[in-house]
Structure 1
């Protein structure tokens, strides 16, 4: 690969990693602020309300988004720029692994959104929304299973 293309690749990935790092920190602050607000609500007696459970699920969702953003940022850096001294469970070997992290997060988010809707809806609405949710989750799981089945071993982009 010509030197100019390698430099461009590194620049593009560094911008992506920097952007993800900023959104990760911003989302972490957002999730923490929501958690502090929920704790205040619970201490004031809000623990008896279904809305508090929805708030808790949304906060868990936000913290999961933070973790996945961090995994993607580290993974992009490791795939395209240089190896990092990461634990084996955090090391990625291809873009498919990063996509699976995002799809896994989407499945959890969709599940949480379904629970939120179920707590606030009638039985008929909950059933139809549940069917639609299940279909989307099945499609996402099928996508990741198909992606694993078709994945080939390639050298990482930084090796070329």
Structure 2
């Protein structure tokens, strides 16, 4: 985070999609890659809205598919910046199947996004204001996931 940029509260972005037959395998289950593409787009919008800058996905962490998604489902995707570094952000993304009277979470992940300037160099982002206990919990979880990812990358580099 840049001390010269005012800290801000992250807004939650919501996107809606239908699952069409071309989004699924022959058995009617949605392709995981298609679902990740929807999640990535929503994460990017949340990061752009927060940072006010161009962003790119650096990594996808802790993806969990917990409930099947099938042709005909209506999907609600939410994304919110939950952790901020100097030029990077962690965006929590959740996908829910709309059951009509309720929602069932089917997938969630954390996306590491990096903000860029006009020359495609990493650039500082604002600090993140955490207003609620839920915001603080999300921040701590994202920080832990980021630390684990950094450790894993160091371990993999040491093995090569």
Which structure shows the bigger proportion of residues in helix conformation?
A: 1
Q: How does the TM-score come out when normalised to structure 2?
A: 0.26
| Bigger Rg, structure 1 or 2 | 1
Q: How does the TM-score come out when normalised to structure 1?
A: 0.26
